[in-house]
Amino acid sequence: MSVLGAVIVPHPPIILPEIGKGEEKKIGKTIEAYRKVARMVADWNPNTVVITSPHTVLYADYFHISPGKKAEGDFLSFGAPNVRITADYDQLFVEELMKRARRAHLPAGTFGEQGPELDHATMIPLRFLQEAGVSCKVIRVGLSGLSALTHYRLGKCISETAEALQRKIVFVASGDLSHKLLESGPYGFSEDGPRFDHQVTEAMKTGDFLKFLEFSEPFCESAAECGLRSFQIMAGGLDGLSVSPELLSYEGTFGVGYAVASFSVTGKDESRHFDRFYEEQENQRVMQKRQQEDPYVRLARKSLETFVETGKRLSLQNLLTQLPEELREKKAGAFVSIHQEGRLRGCIGTIEPVFSCLAEEIIHNAVSAGSADPRFSPVRKEELPSLEYSVDVLEKPEKISSPEELNVKKYGVIVSDGERRGLLLPNLEGVTSVKQQIEIAREKAGIGKNQSYSLERFKVVRHF
């Protein structure tokens, strides 16, 4: 087997004595565990170490793999410019990985580098590894805004590359846990912080990598986690392999969760193809939801499916007798939102009616949400079975004079300055305050913080 094992490690700069200046002693258990897993990697004696880092360049729809022969970096930004780390890259591995990623339709490659310097989430693991005697070549892989399943599949692709090149590799998943464990911490406290850390460390302890795929996006955002997508890539790299899991330490001394875990590969195990289990779970859940969808949601889904599969828009004339009277007769603005594995996949709508009836409004906006939202690539045919839809029908907006007239659960908001208008729907996961609601809408409109603006509120009828 080409994959020898994997480790999960944190990356707090304070862990280095040159930076911590004594404060690192407060996370002594983490340091001891870090040294232990570094010696473990040295004993495995890999040809290449694959480091997944949350702090190298990150794109919403692309995995960046560091190019070139070598790279170095220092800790100048943390007050220790004389602490320098160097890494030699495995160029042949990178070239083969890019070829295989293309064949697997995974958006990964060496384009888009914004600076060759090593980031601290890469250098801190390398510091411990090099002190333990590990001197092999390195692959540095960034994370993305893509789904959990896509991160897992990239891990599989990395392992397949190692197999093809007959490389012995070790995955080093660099990542802190929640950043919201203490009020006194750098990011404050959220009840979801300790919950996330408990659940994710339990998954590390038991080797239950399915759990890494199941965390919801709003929960992760509330917990302000850092390393989950690193762990997902690592889990994919261990796909189909039996492992001996060990959680060596966990500390949250400074309000940020630090976990150290190891996974020694002990053989093959057909019961550990977690992407298959996750896909089956998701497909069943989506199918059950579709059995309960109302005519509004069904119309949005059929509209996008027809467009993606045929390149043509759904004909309203062929549907008139099948639609409720409101869809045929009413005029209203409507937003169509598309989600995939809990993540937004597209959202387009109209504040006021543009078309002859609500049904036509939904048909056009569903197609636009899946093909013309500038934040996302167009929906592909193979994605259609995994998509979930909601339709928000807007009531007529009304002007308000104060944010006190808003309620994030009850009202959506429109922030305007001349022709610039930004809208945010009500009752969205992760939006918990009126201030946050207004700020998001203002940013969408491109209205500066110090510019004046007017407010409108509106209600919606949500179909999902």
DSSP 55-121: TS--BSS-EEB--SSEEEEEEGGGTEEEEEEEEEB-HHHHHHHHHHHHHTT--EESTT-S--SPPHH
Note the helical H segments in 185-342. 192-206, 210-214, 217-223, 228-237, 274-290, 295-310, 325-329
Q: Token pair for residue 162?
A: 């190692």
Place 218 in a pLDDT band, splitting at 50, 70 and 90: confident
Extract the tokens encoding 350: 């109209």
Residue intervals of the chain classified under CATH 3.30.700.20 are 278-463
Task: Report whether 232 contacts 212 (CB < 8 A).
Answer: yes
Give the range among 63-77, 175-189, 420-434 with minimum mean pLDDT.
Answer: 420-434
Which residues 6+ apart lie within 8 Å of 348 measured at CB? 335, 336, 365, 368, 369, 372, 373
What's at 39, amino acid-wise? R
CB 169 within 8 A of CB 137: no
3-state secondary structure of 400: strand
Average of pLDDT values for 156-172?
Answer: 98
Fill in the amino acid letter for 242.
S
- Residue 237's φ and ψ, nearest 5 degrees, are -65, -25
Spatial CB neighbours of 15, under 8 Å, sequence gap ≥ 6: 24, 27, 30, 31, 34, 124
Q: What is the mean pLDDT of the chain?
A: 95
Q: What's the angle, vertex CA 429, arms to CA 424 and CA 434, rounded to 5?
A: 50
Q: What is the pLDDT of residue 12?
A: 98
What angle, rounded to 10 degrees, do the helices at 295-310 and 358-371 form? 50
Q: What is the pLDDT of residues 62-87, one digit of tens each?
A: 999 999 999 999 999 999 999 999 99
- CATH code given to domain 278-463: 3.30.700.20
What integer pLDDT is reported at residue 319 of this predicted model?
Answer: 81
Residues forming beta bridges with residue 98, ordered by sequence position: none
Task: Give the C-alpha distances (Å, rounded to integers) separating 261 from 137, 188, 239, 264.
Answer: 22, 26, 17, 10
Region 206-217: mean pLDDT is 96
Q: Does 318 score more than 90 pLDDT?
A: no
Stretch (H or E) spanning 148:
helix 148-165
From the centroid of its chain, how far is CA 234? 15
Q: Going by DSSP bridges, is the β-strand pair 241-251/258-268 parallel, antiparallel, or unpaired?
A: antiparallel
**What topology does CATH give the domain 3-273?**
Protocatechuate 4,5-dioxygenase; Chain B (3.40.830)
The segment(s) of the chain belonging to CATH 3.40.830.10 are 3-273
pLDDT of residue 27: 98
